[in-house]
Amino acid sequence: MYISASTIDDLLRKLFPRLLSDKLLKGESRITATKGSTVEMRGVMLQLTNPRMRLSRTEEKGTLFSCLGEWLWYLAGSNDVEHIKYYIKKYHEFAENDGTVHGAYGPRIFGPRPGDQVEQIIDLLKRKSTSRQAVIQIFDCDDLQKKYKDVPCTCTMQFLLRGHRLHMVTHMRSNDAFKGLPHDIFAFTLIQELIARSLDVELGNYKHSVGSLHLYDEDRNRAERYLQEGWQSRIAMPSMPKGDPRPSIRKLLDIEVDIRQGKATGKEADSLDPYWADLVRILQIYKYSQSRDTLRKISLLSRAMDSDVYRVYIDQRRSTQTKKLLVHDTPEQLSLLPQTD
């Protein structure tokens, strides 16, 4: 099966009705997996023609903060469960006894095992732009040797430089269509853009091949609610600035640690390009939204954003967290909550 669209929402709107079809509830498409009962489609190819349209604009799947946090976890080369639990609490289910996630992508893509493959891809394509060997391997034979709580769902990422555009083809052995797919496309297309900028070329298409693309029974109602939201605005993330992004990424990763650990001063974004400064502000907004005393600062950060693309996610986050904090609040505590812009 082949599905193509220009935005992640258009892609999901074409995909979910097929996974919700009554035909899949019978026969070989109905399976019981380790994590629950599912329906699956086998041998699916998805294409996103505009990889910057990687963020859902819906209430149900507009997950900017967890998507960004997971991408930065990859970039940091980390397999530390405490790091990623800050953004996605469910990750504790996949941790080994030593507090690491065996299937973490960061060490496999960005080092140390078997070395920083992204850097190797950039060097290879600089030397031979038409190479067909620009492949990052993630799933490997070691993942079959013993039973781990988590093994990679992604097998390979291939990068093809054609006509001054960098195309990407990802192959996954298994993919959760509702929870995992939007996060994966977000992170993988940002890696595609990172490499494209490092090579001084433009983004091409993104293709996502899956052996078993499935929808868990527990997510069927949420997938239906997603479809009921209807049409959403078609807005792309801003373009990553031209030039080598790696120095800015290193700064961003250092700042992320400070924000996550509560050491940030609030001025971290001042020395960065507006694109990267906005990402810093998003991380600060996520941090501040977890405490009543700092919710008021979200309004100030929202006004400082260079791009309007992120406003819908910031407003949604602020609204959700404010409602949570309203429970059992006193009048004095309510006075600390931010006013709307």
**137 and 185 together in one domain:** yes
**193 and 330 together in one domain:** no
Residue-wise pLDDT tens digits, 3-19 = 999 999 999 999 999 99
Q: Is the pLDDT of residue 170 over 60?
A: yes
Residue-wise pLDDT tens digits, 281-291 = 999 999 988 87
**140 and 192 together in one domain:** yes
* Domain residue limits at 299: 246-334
Residue-wise pLDDT tens digits, 70-100 = 999 999 999 999 999 999 999 999 999 999 9
**214 and 261 together in one domain:** no
**208 and 328 together in one domain:** no
Task: State the pLDDT confidence band at 327, using cuts at 50, 70 and 90.
Answer: low
Cα–Cα distance for residue pair 108/113, rounded to 1 Å = 5
Name the 3-class secondary structure at 215: strand
Residue 234 lies inside a defined structural domain of this protein: no
Residue 152 lies inside a defined structural domain of this protein: yes
Alpha-carbon torsion angle 111, 115, 117, 120, nearest 10:
140
**208 and 258 together in one domain:** no
Domains in the chain, number: 2
End position of a domain, from candidates 173, 197, 228: 228
* pLDDT at res. 334: 43
**12 and 78 together in one domain:** yes
**153 and 252 together in one domain:** no
**109 and 163 together in one domain:** yes
End position of a domain, from candidates 199, 228, 257: 228
End position of a domain, from candidates 163, 196, 228: 228
Average confidence (pLDDT) over 146-167: 96
Residue-wise pLDDT tens digits, 201-260 = 999 999 999 999 999 999 999 999 999 997 777 889 999 999 999 999 999 999 999 999
Residue 341 lies inside a defined structural domain of this protein: no
Residue-wise pLDDT tens digits, 37-70 = 999 999 999 999 999 999 999 988 889 999 999 9
Q: Which CATH number do you get for residue 224?
A: 3.30.572.10
Cα–Cα distance for residue pair 292/248, rounded to 1 Å = 31
**200 and 257 together in one domain:** no
User: In sequence order, what are the residues at sequence separation of 6 or more whose Cβ sits closer than 8 angstroms to the Cβ of residue 117?
Assistant: 108, 109, 110, 111, 136, 137
**223 and 253 together in one domain:** no
Average confidence (pLDDT) over 127-150: 94
Task: State the pLDDT confidence band at 341, using cuts at 50, 70 and 90.
Answer: very low
Is the pTM higher than 0.75? The answer reads yes
* pLDDT at res. 292: 73
* pLDDT at res. 329: 53
